[in-house]
Amino acid sequence: MLKIQRHSVNIDFHQAKWNEPIIFELHQPGEVGVEVPQACQEVVDVVGDGISVLPQNIKRANKPNLPEIGQARVLRHYVRLSQETLGSDFNVEIGQGTCTMKYIPKINELLIRNAKLMELHPLQDVSTVQGMLEIIHNMDLAMREISGMDAFSFQPSGGTQALFAMASIVRKYFEVKGEADQRNEIITTIFSHPSQAATAVVKGYKIITLHPDENGFPDIEKLKEVVSERTAGFVVANPEDTGIYNSKIEEFTKIVHDAGGICYYDQANANGLLGITRAKEAGFDMCFFNLHKTFAAPHMCGGPATGALGVTEELKPYLPGPIVEKNGDQYVLNDQLEHSIGKVRAFHGVAQTILRSYAWIRALGQDGLKAVAEIAVLNNNYLYSKVSKIRGASVPYVQGQRLEQVRYSWEQLEKETGVTTEDVQRRMTDFGLHYWTSHHPYIVPQPFTLEPTESYSKADLDEYIHALEQISMEAYENPEVVKNAPQNSTIHQLIEADYLDDPAKWCTSWRVYQEKVKNEAEITS
Amino acid sequence: MSKKVHPYIPNMVPEVKQKMLDEIGVHSIKELYSCIPEKLRFKGTMNIPKALNELELRRHIEGLLNKNVSTNEYLNFLGAGCWQHFIPAVCDEVNQRAEFLTAYAGEPYEDHGRFQALFEYQSLMAELVDMEVVNVPTFDWAQAAATSIRMASRITKRTKVLLANTVSPERKKIITNYGTPQLTFEDVDFNLNTGLMDLTDLERKLSNDVAAIYFENPSYLGFIESQGQEISNLAKKYGAIMVVGVDPISLGILAQPSQYGADIVCGDLQPLGMHMNFSGGQAGFIATHNDPTFINEYPSRLFGIIPTVQEGEYGFGDIAYDRTSFADRENGKESVGTQTALWGITAGVYLSLMGPNGMYELGQAIMQNSQYAVMQLNKIKNIRGSRITSPFFKEFMIDFNDTGLTVEEVNKQLLEHKIFGGKDLSKEFPQYGQSALYCVTEVHTKEDIDKLVSVLSKVVTK
């Protein structure tokens, strides 16, 4: 037998391409996707058709124009679409920096598919949901240990909603103090998630944005300048999107506290910090963790998710209710929170995600959690060392001092070859790898943000690095390969032109597309 | 750090770790943390129990879950915003696919399937609500309503909002917190017997300052608001936008709100293929007509279909992305982030399976079963099966006032008979005294309903 010569990395990748029609094109009149439960004959004998009781004006005149498709074809359609989706189970997903794409343990998926969770109604008598409440309470206790905060709500169902809840608490707090009109500003930083600023605006705040100093730290002198009796809150991540840890964070929170403001900490991603440093010691009044990031719940194409919101004792009465508490040996729902902002999300939040993250914490234990942080930081610094050596790549601002992620730049690559970070992004899909640029605005030119987490092995990291090296080489030697990418993805380059921004051309749904296609055909004929 | 290599953390292997430290040029991981001041280092021990292996973990979690009693075990008549419905197995199969489960923010290239599935969801939902634009879903119905109202406020440049007094009080909490401080809210009265909106009160409260009038249909209390057109006429008279919250599972048989003049339609997707999951199945949709004035006010992502350079390929992208907070931070429309995309895909699967006839038959079965329940309940002495006289969909309010029992007492006894009684409304709607909101859907058999009736007869005549 001759040795079969193989590449150690995946350079011959090609993504699935099924060329699936739009679901409406599968319509075959008469086909049935599922048999719908009917009322039994005895019920029908008593009540008749059930619909005649409705006045004409509240009956639907025509059935909805949904397609009729047999069950197997519906399944095949969606399974094929799933194959045209590069989930993190399928790739070394370190290219989505800030989002902590880590291994999603299969055991947790098995655990949530339990009728004793799936088929629970949120309003059941508490005596019948003690197990679920115990899980939420245990999760609360674990989060308190990790953050130093005193109470958690799991109602916010995403980081954005947690940020919104925190801005709501800030407002309510100053309403109670009688300072709501006076304190109308929230300070944030440019290297933060857009939702920090955006949610504060919804709560009526004026936004003040701190830009980085020459080393990439939020500008502390600027903070001193802008804090005042108008300051309601200061929201920040640490590390920020650059991965740089701000060692002066305690000074920042003190400056804001001295001015009478509240400090809230965006810990959507806390992956480098578990067991290392906490919100409390840094002087924060509130923080939140995305359970779908640091705590290994899946991202699910973008939710449902959980932004676990923690507060100090002083702010506990402001939490959205109810919160789970232990009373003797019983778990209860406490909705008697004196200054509660009310609610931000229906019922209790996303129970499956809470359970998954609880299971993840229990699978790691306190030592394991610390190992998560340490290896995430090790992996990131290894990647940093390798990627910063790639031709055309650089790391702006202070060198070193990166924890779990790094924001890199292809500024030099773009200057020397014309290849942009978006070109690299498309080319990475040819290797079966995801790559994200960064949030707007691009303060770092031609940015990309990598976060390797603890989940990936050295070999995985090397595979990703190899792909970046390959693309850099192509950019210098044969840039067209990169510029014309992707070639091995499900589809080729999109023609965006005006199709997405011109109301005359955009198609928000299949019915709009069909109408516009028909109109175009009429015009051209 | 623990010496034992954890299955989730491959680089705990000492030799690998050393190689990586060498590459970085440091002696220890501790050095990598030198940027964290000593003072901020956590020196204690987190009081978190030691690690469980997979088998132990499974025992532990299943042990906890076994303390729950699910609606598979007890007969359930709770609804009130989270409902028990039939879920086709294909819905679960698709949303458990690892590709969808673990995808996130991929580009239209490597995540073509995700974009297509969400575009199809938007398109299927657009047919159900008979509008042209549907968003990638938001958190839940309340958030969808709250955002719809803010959209209306931005479009009209007005800040006063009228809410039907029959809107779910829990939803109202979310809507008002989301709307304040910029918006002010006022309730519109309703008729206690019919549940219908008091149009005189509505007209009294309408003015040229009103941005939006919001009501729900079927209402939180289950009855169907039949004056949609009249409400719309009044709204238009004053230049206000009519926002209607709807249970989408009713739309196989009930008139779509656009038929009676809704400008924005919103609601919860949970009935369309999501398990209740102790409220983990909620997802909010917003729908409008294909009007740029409205489209430009959505905070959500909206996926559109576009060509690619390859003839015959469908591609997808973000419509009017610049309006979002992703593009423009605090200058974007409200905010966007991780919400409930997978439930959007699932609702799309559900609607593909149901088709037009399935949605009709399902609506009919719900009407029949729930009407049967009320008729049988009416036979019990001192109980009124439906306190409100208007036609209803899926939910209805049982009046227990003449039984001398509180709903709490009734529910306690039902629980002993392994029945989850309806939601106690005595605090939310004290004007109805001891009344409870019951939910009957296609999952309830005649035997289920008969059991409820027979147990309730005993409970109230004790």
Please give the angle made by the CA atoms of A212, A218 and A219, to the nearest 5 degrees. Answer: 80
Nearest CA in chain A to B390: A54
Residue A458 contacts B where some CB pair is shorter than 8 Å = yes
- Structure confidence at residue A128 (pLDDT): 98
Q: Which residues of A touch B305 (CB under 8 A)?
A: 22, 507, 510, 513
> Which residue among A66, A148, A347 sits closest to B82, beta carbon to beta carbon?
A347
| Cα→Cα distances A275→A143, A270, A309, B18, B53, Å | 11, 10, 18, 22, 21
Q: Give the tens place of pLDDT for each residue, A158-188.
A: 999 999 999 999 999 999 999 999 999 999 9
Q: Give the tens place of pLDDT for each residue, B186-224.
A: 999 999 999 999 999 999 999 999 999 999 999 999 999
Are the C-beta atoms of residues A260 and A180 closer than 8 Å to each other?
no
Helices (H), A148-264: 159-177, 194-202, 220-226, 249-258
Residue A101, helix vs strand vs coil: coil
What is the pTM for the complete model shown? Answer: 0.98
Are the C-beta atoms of residues A203 and B330 closer than 8 Å to each other?
no
Phi, psi (5° rounding) for residue B41? Answer: -70, 140
A 10 A CB-CB count for A224 gives 13
Give the span between the Cα atoms of A211 and A191, in whole angstroms: 8
Give the span between the Cα atoms of B439 and A48, in whole angstroms: 20
Contact residues, A window 175-204, toward B, CB-based 8 Å cutoff: 180, 193-195, 197-204
Q: Give the tens place of pLDDT for each residue, A437-483.
A: 998 889 999 999 999 999 999 999 999 999 999 999 999 999 999 99
Give the span between the Cα atoms of A41 and A466, in whole angstroms: 67
Q: Which two tokens stand for residue A220?
A: 């502390």
Residue ranges with strand state E in A312-392: 323-327, 330-334
Q: Cβ separation of B309 and A381 shorter than 8 Å?
A: no
Q: Domain B75-86+357-461 belongs to what topology? A: Aspartate Aminotransferase, domain 1 (3.90.1150)
Predicted ipTM? Answer: 0.97
Contact residues, B window 89-128, toward A, CB-based 8 Å cutoff: 90, 93-114, 116-120, 122-124, 126-128
Q: Which two tokens stand for residue A62?
A: 């025509």
- Structure confidence at residue B364 (pLDDT): 98
Task: Tell me the helices (H) and strands (E) count for chain B, helix number first.
Answer: 15, 14
Residue A56 contacts B where some CB pair is shorter than 8 Å = no
B238 Cα to chain A: minimum distance (Å): 23
E strand or H helix at B161, and its extent?
strand B160-164
E strand or H helix at B407, and its extent?
helix B407-416
pLDDT by position in tens, chain A (length 525): 889 887 766 668 999 999 999 999 999 999 999 999 999 999 999 999 999 999 999 999 999 999 999 999 999 999 999 999 999 999 999 999 999 999 999 999 999 999 999 999 999 999 999 999 999 999 999 999 999 999 999 999 999 999 999 999 999 999 999 999 999 999 999 998 999 999 999 999 999 999 999 999 999 999 999 999 999 999 999 999 999 999 999 999 999 999 999 999 999 999 999 999 999 999 999 999 999 999 999 999 999 999 999 999 999 999 999 999 999 999 999 999 999 999 999 999 999 999 999 999 999 999 999 999 999 999 999 999 999 999 999 999 999 999 999 999 999 999 999 999 999 999 999 999 999 999 888 999 999 999 999 999 999 999 999 999 999 999 999 999 999 999 999 999 999 889 999 999 999 999 999 999 999 888 887
Burial letters for B400-412: b for 16+ Cβ neighbours within 10 Å, e otherwise? bbebebbbeebbe
| Residue closest to A500 by CA, chosen among B125, B292, B150 | B292
Are the C-beta atoms of residues B244 and B267 closer than 8 Å to each other?
no
Average pLDDT of the residues of chain B: 97
Q: Cβ separation of A281 and B342 shorter than 8 Å?
A: no
The one-letter amino acid code at A42 reads E
Domain boundaries, chain A: 110-363, 372-483, 499-525
CA B215 to chain centre: 16
Q: Which residue, among A14, A35, A62, A82, would best test binding to B if mutated, counting the most B CBs under 10 Å from its CB?
A: A82
| Residue closest to B160 by CA, chosen among B135, B189, B182, B128 | B182
Contact residues, B window 360-389, toward A, CB-based 8 Å cutoff: 360-365, 367-369, 371-372, 375
E strand or H helix at A210, and its extent?
strand A206-210
Phi, psi (5° rounding) for residue B302? Answer: -130, 115
Domain boundaries, chain B: 1-48, 75-86+357-461, 89-351
Give the span between the Cα atoms of A435 and A417, in whole angstroms: 20
Give the span between the Cα atoms of B328 and B222, in whole angstroms: 41
Phi, psi (5° rounding) for residue A283? Answer: 95, 15
- Structure confidence at residue B323 (pLDDT): 92
The one-letter amino acid code at A89 reads D
A416 Cα to chain B: minimum distance (Å): 26
Give the span between the Cα atoms of B212 and B156, in whole angstroms: 9
Q: Cβ separation of A303 and B70 shorter than 8 Å?
A: no
Q: Which residues of A touch B407 (CB under 8 A)?
A: none
What mean pLDDT is predicted for residues B384-413?
98
Are the C-beta atoms of residues A313 and A360 closer than 8 Å to each other?
no
Q: Which residues of A touch B6 (CB under 8 A)?
A: 364, 368, 371
Q: Give the tens place of pLDDT for each residue, B315-367.
A: 999 999 999 998 889 999 999 999 999 999 999 999 999 999 999 999 999 99
Q: Can you name the residues that pair with A394 across neighbouring β-strands?
A: A409
Class of domain B89-351: alpha beta
Q: What is the dihedral of CA A460, A464, A470, A473, to 10 degrees?
A: -130
> Which residue among B39, B45, B328 sits closest to A366, beta carbon to beta carbon?
B45
> Which residue among B47, B100, B123 sits closest to A85, beta carbon to beta carbon?
B100
Q: What is the DSSP string of B66-116?
A: TTB--TTTSEE---TTS------HHHHHHHT-HHHHT--S--TTTTHHHHH
A201 Cα to chain B: minimum distance (Å): 6
Q: What is the dihedral of CA A52, A57, A59, A64, to 10 degrees?
A: 160
Give the span between the Cα atoms of B76 and B84, in whole angstroms: 8
Q: Cβ separation of A34 and B411 shorter than 8 Å?
A: no
Q: Which residue, among A265, A301, A330, A406, would best test binding to B if mutated, counting the most B CBs under 10 Å from its CB?
A: A301
A457 Cα to chain B: minimum distance (Å): 5
Residue identified by tokens 């947790």 is A108
Q: Give the tens place of pLDDT for each residue, B47-56.
A: 999 999 999 9
Contact residues, A window 146-165, toward B, CB-based 8 Å cutoff: 146, 148, 157-161, 163-164
Residue A443 contacts B where some CB pair is shorter than 8 Å = no
Are the C-beta atoms of residues A229 and A182 closer than 8 Å to each other?
yes
| Residue closest to B136 by CA, chosen among A75, A502, A508 | A508
Are the C-beta atoms of residues A165 and A309 closer than 8 Å to each other?
yes
Q: Which CATH superfamily is domain A372-483 in?
A: Aspartate Aminotransferase, domain 1 (3.90.1150.10)
| Residue closest to A375 by CA, chosen among A290, A461, A455 | A455
- Tell which CATH classification among 3.40.190.10, 3.40.640.10, 3.40.50.1100, 3.20.20.10 matches the domain A110-363: 3.40.640.10
Q: Cβ separation of B279 and A74 shorter than 8 Å?
A: no
- Percent of chain A beyond pLDDT 70? 99
Helices (H), B315-406: 325-328, 341-377
Residue A251 contacts B where some CB pair is shorter than 8 Å = no
